[in-house]
Amino acid sequence: MAAPLKILHTSDWHLGRSLYGRKRYEEFSAFLDWLADTIERQRIDVLLVAGDVFDTTAPSNRAQALYYRFLERVSRSRCAHVVVIGGNHDSPSFLDAPRALLRALSVHVIGAAAADPAEEVLLLENDAGEPMAIVAAVPYLRDRDIRSAEAGESTEDKARKLVEGIRDHYAAVGAAAQALQERLGQEIPIIGMGHLFAAGGETVEGDGVRELYVGSLAHVSGAVFPDCFDYVALGHLHVPQKVGGAEHIRYAGSPLPMGFGEAGQKKSLCLVAFDERQPTVELLDVPTFQRLQYLSGDWPTLETAIRALVEEQAAAWLEIRYDGDEIIGDLRQRLEELVSESKLEILRIRNNRVVETALGKMREDETLDDLDVHDVFLRCLDSHDIPAEQRDVLIDAYREVVREVEEGDRREE
């Protein structure tokens, strides 16, 4: 009896991403090494990467080196195929540029939507030339790929057209995949891929997940995917989750926490084993390569929490929010003294008490990050009861200072 086809589904690597200015290449390298080892250990046949390989459209040389070194290593493993689709963070042209060369390594890249959706349908074969699976590798669908703009259309019209465009694209790809299977005369798995925002999808604060279309959420339901898809490997949302409760439609989530909002989240990949066309999904936990810890509270609470981390010799990056009533002018110095001689490193401190003193009481759901430099100045004027006759002069002077600073920054760049 033939061994079941084993697929490993991952997404949202965001290679090159930094956290409050701290580069994370060692984490990315450790993850990719672990992933390559896992492919060997689990005897994976096909690796699916569902978009956002890189964090920016112009990735650094070091981020590119990590990507290509990983693909070269996997090409020498027992894994027969790697399928990579573009995400909203990726440059389609950049991903597609080495497409022909990577195909020689059995790495299939679809960075941009094809004019003919059938071109996104891949037939994967084993070393003996026998069909293993059909993959409908649909990349992130940009507005221009799926919708024609018309003058005077409302936001609701745009949203409707976007959802219809996504559905029509998947219908065409699904029909092409089904037609290919019929020509083969074999019942092999049909696997869909996508990089999009499914309705009801879970996100967390600070994960960097963007809305995909200007003026519209354009969230789609699981019903957009054709019934012929035996499994759907999605990317974009960083929280591992099913779509609409369906076992076979899943987000793998990001393998690394992209921000402190994801610090306590368990990261995993989806291991999918097929018995003919019936998938069974198992989650593989991803190790923590760099611990992130978010702390908040008054001074006694923060001091106790940090001393406990020091005591356990934790190696972690910290984001700290001070919420106490006492004004502590030397907060950073106190915190740095607590972590000195430890494996803890503070990446960010948010002193809400100082903000409130300067700006007045802020809304419960509002932080300093929600305000721009002009909002902050206006709040300061309000909180200090500056007379109306003085405000215009102060505002003009402030704007002139900001303009000079911004021009100076541009000259330095």
Domains of the chain: 5-285 (3.60.21.10), 291-412 (3.30.160.720)
Structure tokens at 250: 């899943």
Do residues 80 and 46 touch, judged by C-beta distance below 8 A? yes
For residue 393, the model assigns a pLDDT of 75
Instruction: Read off the pLDDT of each residue in 70-94 and give the average, rounded to a whole number.
Output: 96
For residue 222, the model assigns a pLDDT of 87
The gap between the terminal CA atoms of the chain, to the nearest Å, is 63
The pLDDT tens digits for 115-161 are 999 999 999 999 999 999 999 999 999 888 877 666 667 777 777 88
Rg (CA), the chain: 25
Least confident of 112-121, 316-325, 394-403: 394-403
For residue 216, the model assigns a pLDDT of 38
For residue 345, the model assigns a pLDDT of 96
Rounded distance between C-alpha atoms, residue 238 and residue 118, angstroms: 29
Higher pLDDT, 364 or 385: 385
**Taking 80 as the threshold, does the pLDDT of residue 87 lie above it?**
yes
**Taking 60 as the threshold, does the pLDDT of residue 63 lie above it?**
yes
Confidence of residue 204 (pLDDT cuts 50, 70, 90): low
Least confident of 17-31, 38-52, 177-191, 393-407: 393-407
Structure tokens at 276: 């003919």
- Give the rounded percent of residues in the chain with a pLDDT score beyond 70: 84
**Taking 90 as the threshold, does the pLDDT of residue 263 lie above it?**
no
For residue 365, the model assigns a pLDDT of 46
**Taking 80 as the threshold, does the pLDDT of residue 21 lie above it?**
yes
For residue 69, the model assigns a pLDDT of 97
Supply the mean pLDDT for the chain.
87
For residue 364, the model assigns a pLDDT of 47
**Taking 70 as the threshold, does the pLDDT of residue 262 lie above it?**
yes
Rounded distance between C-alpha atoms, residue 188 and residue 139, angstroms: 22
For residue 383, the model assigns a pLDDT of 62
For residue 405, the model assigns a pLDDT of 67
For residue 3, the model assigns a pLDDT of 78
Confidence of residue 385 (pLDDT cuts 50, 70, 90): low
Do residues 54 and 14 touch, judged by C-beta distance below 8 A? yes
The pLDDT tens digits for 279-321 are 999 999 999 999 999 999 999 999 999 999 999 999 999 999 9
Taking CB atoms within 8 Å and a gap of at least 24, the contacts of 168-172 are: 169/113, 169/117, 169/138, 169/141, 169/145, 170/136, 170/138, 170/194, 170/224, 170/225, 170/226, 171/226, 172/117, 172/118
Rounded distance between C-alpha atoms, residue 143 and residue 166, angstroms: 10
For residue 412, the model assigns a pLDDT of 42
Q: Where are the strands (E) in 11-120, listed by range?
A: 18-19, 22-23, 46-50, 81-85, 107-110
